[in-house]
Chains A and B, each alone.
Chain A
Amino acid sequence: MFSQALQDRTRREVLQLSAAGVFTASLSGWMPLLAKAPAKGNRTKSCILLWMDGGPTHKDTWDLKPNSKGAGEFKPIKTSAPGIEISEHLPKIAGLMNHGVIVRGMSTPEGAHGRAKYYAHTGYREGQGGITYPSMGSFVARENGRVDASVPNYVAIGGRSYGSGVLGPKYQPLMVQDAGKGVEDLKAIVSQGQFDRRMSLLQEMEQAFGKEYNAETILDHKTTYERAVKLMQSPEAKAFDLSQEKSETRSKYGSGKFGEGVLMARRLVEVGVPFVEVQLGGWDTHQDNFARVKSHSQQVDAAMSSLITDLKERGLLDTTLILWMGEFGRTPNINTRGPKPGRDHYPKAWSVAMFGGGIKGGQLVGATDKEGAEVIDRKTSVQDLLGTVCEVLGIDYAKKYETSTGRPITIVEKANPFTKTIM
C-alpha cells in the first residue's frame, strides 16, 4: 500500500498526508490482493530465535566443566566437531555440531529477569533513552521483511514478546500462543461476499473518522486491521496449520508445545518469514536444576536437531540463522538451599549457540575459566552478539531509524561483532 519511500517517513508526516486525502484512492484498495510470491534468486536471510526463558545454565548445556567445583551431574560428550564437547543430554545436536558455533564468552551486567530479557532482545538497557527500543525480531522484520508480505514478518510463538517499541505496530510480532492451535479466528464465518461488503463499509467509516480526528491511534488501528485481513486472504497462512505435516514429522520435533512451535517456525521460514521466535520457558532453575535441565535439554535436542536437518534437506539452512539464547547463565557453584540442588542467576559468563545462516560451523567463540565463572577469552556483550547476528543476516547494524518522537535510534550501538571468525 505504501511506497518504499513513504515507508521511511515519520508517522506524523504520514498522518498529515492522510489528512490531506493523499491516500484516499489507495485506501479503497483494502480489498484483498494476493501476496506477491517471493522473488526468485537471492533470498534474504531468516532468523529463528529459540528463546530459553529464565536464564539457562551454561555449565549443564554448552560449556561443561567436569573438573570444576560445581561440575554438576551431567557428563560432556564428544560432538561431530573435533575439540567441542557438550552436554550428554543434547546427543542429536552433538551430531550436528559441525553446523554450529558455541559462543562461550557472553558476559553482561543484568542479573534481573525483566531487565536482562529486555537487554538481550534489544541491545539496550531498560529505561535507557526514555523510550522502548525495538526487539531484534522487529528490526530484522523491518530490514529483511517484504513490505507487502501477507504473513507478518515477525512471529512470536509461545510466550510474551519484546515488541517493536518506537518502531510502531507495523513491526509488532504476530503472537501465537499455542502452535498446536495455530492462529485462531483466521477464517471469516460469513460468506466471502458478505465479508467484503463489511470491509468496504468499515473502510468508509474509518476514512471519515480519521479525517475528522487525525489521531495516531486511528492509523494504528487501521494498520492492524489491514494486516489481519491480508493474513486471512493469504495462501501463506497455511504455514500456521500443523495438521498439514505428517505425524512422523510432528513426533520427530517432540510432542510438547516447544516442538510444535519449532516445527511451525520451519514452515514460516519456508514461506519467507524473516524472523520467528519460539520460546521454551522454565530455565530459572534455582531449585531442582538437573532434573529440569535434563528434561528441557531433551525437548531442545529433539526440536532443534529436527529443525537443522529439515532446513538442510530443503536447502534453507544456509539462509536461516538459528540462535539459541536466554537472558543470562547460571552460577558455576551449586546451591544447596533447598531439597534439590540448583543454580542461581549468573550474567558474568554464559553461552549462546548459533547454527546455519551460512556460518562456518564446528567452532568456539570465547572461553571461560576452569570453573565456568570468568570469561578468559573474547568477552562478548549483547551488542557484540546482536551486531554479529545482523551481519550474518545481511543487515547493517549501524543503520539509524527516525522515530515518531523525532529522535533517531541505531539498530545496535557499540558493537564489536565476531562475524569474521565465523563466516
Chain B
Amino acid sequence: MRTLRSALALLLLTALFAISADTAFTADTKKELKQAAKKAAILEKKKAAEAKKPDPIKRPDIKADDLAKVKPLTPAFLGTKGDTATVAKFVDSQVSAKLATAKLTASPLCDDSEFLRRVYLDLAGVIPTASQARTFLDSKEPAKRAKLIDDLLASPNYAKHQADLWSNLLIRKNSDNRKVDFTSFTKWLEKEFAANRPWNEMVNEMITASGEQEKAPAVGFFLSNNGVDKMADEVGKVFLGQSIQCAQCHNHPFTDYQQTEYWALANFFVKTTAGGLNTNKGQTPGVQEVNNLKRNKKNELPESYKDVPAKFLRAEAPKMTSTEPYRPVLAKWLTSSTNPFLAKAMVNRVWSQLFGVGIVNPVDDMRADNEPSHPELLEKLAADFAANKFDLKHLHRSICNSDAYQRSSKKVSGNADAEELLFARATMKVLTPEQLFDSIALATGFSTNEGKGGKAAGGKGPGQNARTQFVTFFLSGTEMSNTTEYEPGIPQALRLMNSKPISSGRAVQSLSKADSAKAIEELYLGTLSRRPTNTELSKMQSFLKNGTTAEAYGDILWVLVNCSEFTMIR
C-alpha cells in the first residue's frame, strides 16, 4: 500500500514538472494539482512516521476471555477474631524485618505529647482541648495509650473525621451535579462509621442504592459520578485501588489494562440512571436501575465496545439476563471477602492515611508492576481485615497500637539520609483543611465542651458555612489536600495571620491571667498539646512585658496558632 502511494506521489510530482512546462493548462488546474501533490506528500510523510513509531508497551495478543486473572484473597485471622495485639505485633515484626534488611535504624517511640496530638488528629480529626491534654499527659496508667485509642475510636468525632476523609474521595462536584446537596450522603457516611458498619457492606450499598436521596442517601455516590465511565473510574480507583481510567480511550499506557476490560466493567452501570438533579426547580435527586433504559450520553458505550459483555475486573464474566439488575451482581463480586482487590485497597489506604505513605504508592494505583514495599504485610493485613468482616475500627485499632505507628518523626543517624524510609520513622504530616479549621476553632474558642471538641456539633461555634468556605479556600483549586507536602500559599498565610478570629486577641479574654506560668501552660496545651519547655516558658514570660497583658497573651496565642508545629502532625 505504501509503495503504491509513493508511486502515486511520484507520478503526481512528475506530472507537475511536466505540466509547468506546458502552458496549455490553466493556472487554476496547476494550483489544484500542486495542492493535491502537496497533500499526497503530507500523507506519505505521516504514514512513514507512524510506521517508524515503536509500540511502547509489549502487549501480548490478549483476548478478552484470556486476560490474566488475579488470585482471589484468602481471608485469615492473624491471631483470633478482633485480636488487636497480635495484628500490631505482626505489623512490627514485618516493618522491623525490612528495616534490618535495609540496614536502617528505627527512630525511638514518640513521647506522650507527640503521641497525644498525633492520635487525636488521626482518629478524631481535631486536637485535644487543654483539659483533655492535661489529663492524658498526667495519667500514670501504664496502658494509657491503648486506652486513648479505644476512647477516640468510640467518640463521635471519629465518625465525623472518617466522613470528612471519605466525602473527599467519593464526592466529585461537577457541572452535572452542581445543584445537588450532598449533605445527606456525608451524614450517612458518618452514621455508618459511627456504627462501625463493615466496609464491604458500605461499599455494597454505595454501588446498589436506588431511590430518592433523602430516603436512600447512599445514592450520593452515583449522583457524584453519573455515567458508566465515571462509575468505572471511581469504583476502580477508590474501592479497588486500580487506576483504570486511562484505559477508557486506549489501552492503558503503563499497565496492561485493555479498553475491553474498562468497558466490560462500565457495562454493569448501563441500566442505572440519575434524575431530579435540578433542585432549583424543586426536583429531588435520585437513582434508579431500569430495564430498557434509553441510550443517552451517560450510559452509552462506544461503538466498538457496545457488545462487550459485562465482566468483573480480571475475573469471570457473570451470566446475567437482560431483565435482572446488574449492579447487585457486580457488588456481590466486589464486596465478597475473597475479592482480590477490596481488602488490600482499603488496608493500603488506611495505612497511608495514618502513616502519610502507603505500602503501595500512589494508593489508587496498585497495579502488578507497582510493587508494595512490604508485600507480606499487605497480603496478611488484608486477609485479616477480610476475615474480621472488614471491621474498620479493628484495622485502625491494630495499626495505631503498633510501635511502627508510634515512632517519632525525629531523624536519627541511622535513618536521616534514607532514600526510602520503610517506616523507620514517622512522616511529618500537614493538617487537612478540615482538621485545621476545627483545631483553630477549638484553640481560639477555648471550648470547655470537651466531648465535642471544635466540631460544629450543635454547640456554639462557627457555622457549617464558615467551615465549608475555609476548606474550599485552603484547597485553592485542588481536589484533595496532600498531607505530606505543605501546599498552602500566600493568600492562606495572610488569612491565618490577619483574619479577625485569630488576630484580634478576643480568644484570650476568658483566660485566667493571674499566674503567668499557668496561663502560658494553658495556651500551649490548648494548641500544641504539650507543656512549654523551661526555655520557652521564660521566653514567653519576658515577652509578656510588652504591650498590655491582654495584647501580649493574644500575641502568644497568635504565634502558637500560626507556627509550623500547630499546622503539622510531628
Interface size class of B (residues with CB under 8 A): 35 or more
Does A13 sit at the interface, judged by CB under 8 A?
A: no
Complexed CA–CA distance, A187 and B494 (Å): 8
The smallest beta-carbon distance between B367 and chain A, in angstroms, is 13
Does B151 sit at the interface, judged by CB under 8 A?
A: no
Cβ contact within 8 Å between A228 and B409: no
Interface residues of B in 496-547 (CB under 8 A from A): 497-500, 503-505, 536, 539, 543, 546-547
Cβ contact within 8 Å between B494 and A127: no
Q: In the complex, which residues of chain A have a beta carbon less than 8 angstroms from the beta carbon of B38?
A: 376
Cβ contact within 8 Å between B428 and A217: yes
Interface residues of B in 476-495 (CB under 8 A from A): 476-478, 484-495
Cβ contact within 8 Å between B410 and A184: no
Contacts A194-B547, A194-B555, A204-B539; is A188 near B570 (CB within 8 Å)?
Answer: no
Does B249 sit at the interface, judged by CB under 8 A?
A: yes
**A315-354 CB contact bits vs B (8 Å, 1 = yes)?**
0000000000000000000000000000000000000000
Q: In the complex, which residues of chain A have a beta carbon less than 8 angstroms from the beta carbon of B495?
A: 184-185
Cβ contact within 8 Å between B543 and A185: no
Does B551 sit at the interface, judged by CB under 8 A?
A: yes
Interface-central residue, B411, B486, B490, B499, by most chain A CB under 10 Å: B490
Contacts A174-B489, A201-B556; is A190 near B477 (CB within 8 Å)?
Answer: no
Contacts A189-B504, A197-B555; is A220 near B498 (CB within 8 Å)?
Answer: no
Binds A, one of B1-9, B347-355, B451-459, B559-567: B559-567
Cβ contact within 8 Å between B490 and A231: yes
Does B430 sit at the interface, judged by CB under 8 A?
A: yes
Does B189 sit at the interface, judged by CB under 8 A?
A: no
Cβ contact within 8 Å between B486 and A221: yes
Q: In the complex, which residues of chain B have a beta carbon less than 8 angstroms from the beta carbon of A228?
A: 490, 493-494, 497
Cβ contact within 8 Å between A224 and B485: no
The smallest beta-carbon distance between B17 and chain A, in angstroms, is 21
The smallest beta-carbon distance between A255 and chain B, in angstroms, is 24
**B244-257 CB contact bits vs A (8 Å, 1 = yes)?**
00000100011000
Complexed CA–CA distance, A61 and B253 (Å): 34
The smallest beta-carbon distance between A329 and chain B, in angstroms, is 18
Interface size class of A (residues with CB under 8 A): 35 or more
Q: In the complex, which residues of chain B have a beta carbon less than 8 angstroms from the beta carbon of A208?
A: 536
Cβ contact within 8 Å between B489 and A218: no
Cβ contact within 8 Å between B490 and A212: no
Contacts A189-B498, A197-B547, A224-B493; is A209 near B564 (CB within 8 Å)?
Answer: yes
Q: Which residue of A lies closest to B473 (CB)?
A: A177
Complexed CA–CA distance, A47 and B497 (Å): 31
Cβ contact within 8 Å between B564 and A152: no
Cβ contact within 8 Å between A185 and B249: no
Does B103 sit at the interface, judged by CB under 8 A?
A: no
Does B424 sit at the interface, judged by CB under 8 A?
A: no
Cβ contact within 8 Å between A217 and B430: yes
The smallest beta-carbon distance between B256 and chain A, in angstroms, is 16
Complexed CA–CA distance, A228 and B477 (Å): 19
Complexed CA–CA distance, A58 and B539 (Å): 64
Does B42 sit at the interface, judged by CB under 8 A?
A: yes
Cβ contact within 8 Å between B254 and A127: yes
Cβ contact within 8 Å between A212 and B477: no
Interface residues of A in 192-213 (CB under 8 A from B): 194, 197-198, 201-202, 204-206, 208-210, 212-213
The residue that A201 contacts in the complex, of B478, B487, B488, B555, with Cβ under 8 A, is B555
Cβ contact within 8 Å between B497 and A217: no
Complexed CA–CA distance, A160 and B499 (Å): 23
Cβ contact within 8 Å between A172 and B489: yes
Q: Can you list the 10 inter-chain pairs with the closest CB atoms, starting with the nearest? A: A160-B477, A228-B493, A220-B486, A185-B494, A185-B498, A217-B486, A215-B428, A221-B564, A228-B490, A218-B564
Q: Could you tell me which A residues sit within 8 Å of B by CB distance?
A: 111-112, 127, 152, 159-161, 169, 172-176, 183-190, 194, 197-198, 201-202, 204-206, 208-210, 212-218, 220-222, 224-225, 227-229, 231-232, 376
Known pairs A185-B499, A206-B563, A227-B490; list 13 more (Cβ under 8 Å). Answer: A160-B476, A173-B489, A194-B547, A201-B555, A213-B411, A214-B411, A215-B409, A215-B568, A217-B428, A217-B485, A217-B564, A218-B486, A376-B39
12 contacts between A and B (CB under 8 A): A174-B489, A183-B491, A185-B498, A198-B558, A201-B539, A201-B556, A205-B559, A208-B536, A217-B484, A217-B564, A224-B488, A228-B490
Q: Could you tell me which B residues sit within 8 Å of A by CB distance?
A: 38-39, 42, 249, 253-254, 409-411, 428, 430, 476-478, 484-495, 497-500, 503-505, 536, 539, 543, 546-547, 551, 555-556, 558-559, 562-565, 567-568, 570
